[in-house]
């Protein structure tokens, strides 16, 4: 077992306390941060938000701050801020900018079968993070990857749960079946978020919820914000199902590579177990999602085909952007983090 594992504390799951507000990354995220504390000026107007890079740090941290109010909130921020009208209006403008950019890049199609088919083909010369890590990954790179992915995995399956009351029939029944597995089949110690916290402990990482947001750049935040954006809007239920299908279909082979990479690097058994669990579970989930959730949704609401395809395409686009960022940095021997792991508070 690695020295990192030997110094890790016992995992008890994601720490329950609300996280601190992360540092601002620009004018808009600073204004949102101040507004949440109750000591800020008027929130930026449309002229300001309209100039933001739709894939940039300022926009995505601002969205993250807005979305986290629907999950655990932040220390020192009143619960009432979740439905603050001024904040919701600002969030809507940020979402519009992000969605518009995604739709422009993805294009329009309603061919769900083609979009799903592309996910089932594993490229021989894959270049994503799991390919890099299984072939070349060192322990420090695996720790960086785990820290970045914790922004989602410490609340794994939560964003997708928003879609359940918006589905009907076999789509709803099968979505609940998959989510039941994600949440540990009724056993808290088997919840995937808990298993991820144990992976982090094996790698000597802090399991505090939201701890590594400071280390995560816009490409990471965008992949997580996409889930919340789709999940919190009933009108985007088809896109959320498309996103969920993408995650479940591509998870098993990537998880297999990551389990091998962690084992080769000397990570502890809990680190390997998380991805081994996903190899088996997601192979089953992939069939349920494709044949029951997606097909069931489109049987009930065929007009959502274009949204499902968009959800698949947008997920792939953002994951590719993130992968290029990570592999590019690691290939140069550089960190992929905005801040060192031990500097994140």
The number of CA neighbours under 13 Å toward the Cβ of 143 is 21
pLDDT band at 4 (very low <50, low <70, confident <90, very high): very low
pLDDT in tens, 196-206: 999 999 999 99
> Residue 86: what pLDDT?
96
CA nearest to 129, candidates 272, 278, 275, 323: 323
Token pair of 312 as six digits: 């698949």
The string of DSSP codes covering 52-81 is: S-TTSHHHHHHHHHHHHTTTT--TT--GGG
Domains in the chain, ordered, with CATH? 15-106 (no CATH), 112-343 (1.20.910.10)
- Confirm if 90 and 122 have CB atoms less than 8 A apart: no
Rounded-to-integer distance, Cα 37 and Cα 322, Å: 31
- C-alpha to C-alpha distance for 30 and 133, rounded to whole angstroms: 35
Would you place residue 284 in the very low, low, confident or very high pLDDT band (cuts 50, 70, 90)?
confident
Cα 44 to Cα 273: distance, rounded to the nearest angstrom? 45
Examine the pLDDT at 9 and tell me if it is beyond 90: no
Residue 44 contacts residue 27 (beta carbons within 8 Å): yes
pLDDT in tens, 105-121: 999 999 999 999 988 88
The pLDDT tens digits for 99-158 are 999 999 999 999 999 999 988 887 767 889 999 999 999 999 999 999 999 999 999 999
Say if residue 282's pLDDT is above 80: no
Query: Which DSSP state fits 229?
Result: H
What's the CA dihedral at 319, 325, 330, 334 to 10 degrees? -150
Alpha carbon of 255 to those of 23, 53, 58, 128, 337: distances in Å? Answer: 32, 32, 31, 12, 22
């Amino acid at each position: 077992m690695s020295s990192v594992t030997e110094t890790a504390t016992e995992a008890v799951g994601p720490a329950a306390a609300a996280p601190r507000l992360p540092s601002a990354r620009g004018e808009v995220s600073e204004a949102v941060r101040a507004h949440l504390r109750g000591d800020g000026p008027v929130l930026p107007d449309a002229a300001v938000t309209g100039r933001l890079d739709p894939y940039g740090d300022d926009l995505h941290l601002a969205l993250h701050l807005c979305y986290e109010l629907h999950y655990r909130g932040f220390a020192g921020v009143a619960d009432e801020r979740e439905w603050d009208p001024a904040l919701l209006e600002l969030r809507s403008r940020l979402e519009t900018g992000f969605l518009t950019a995604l739709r422009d890049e993805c294009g329009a199609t309603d061919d769900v079968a083609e979009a799903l088919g592309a996910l089932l083909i594993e490229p021989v010369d894959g270049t994503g993070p799991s390919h890099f890590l299984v072939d070349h990954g060192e322990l420090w790179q695996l720790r960086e990857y785990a820290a970045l992915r914790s922004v989602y995995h410490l609340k794994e399956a939560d964003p997708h749960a928003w879609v359940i009351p918006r589905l009907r029939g076999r789509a709803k029944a099968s979505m609940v079946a998959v989510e039941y597995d994600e949440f540990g089949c009724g056993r808290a110690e088997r919840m995937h978020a808990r298993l991820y916290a144990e992976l982090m402990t094996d790698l000597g990482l802090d399991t505090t919820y939201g701890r590594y947001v400071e280390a995560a750049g816009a490409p990471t935040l965008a992949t997580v914000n996409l889930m919340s954006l789709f999940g919190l809007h009933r009108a985007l239920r088809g896109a959320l199902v498309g996103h969920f299908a993408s995650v479940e279909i591509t998870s098993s082979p990537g998880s297999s590579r990551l389990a091998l990479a962690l084992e080769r690097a000397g990570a502890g058994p809990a680190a390997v177990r998380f991805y081994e669990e996903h190899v088996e579970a997601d192979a089953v989930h992939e069939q349920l999602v494709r044949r029951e959730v997606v097909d069931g949704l489109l049987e009930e609401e065929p007009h959502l085909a274009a949204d499902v395809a968009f959800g698949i395409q947008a997920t792939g686009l953002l994951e590719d952007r993130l992968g290029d960022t990570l592999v590019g940095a690691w290939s140069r021997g550089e960190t992929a983090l905005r801040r060192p792991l031990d500097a994140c508070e």
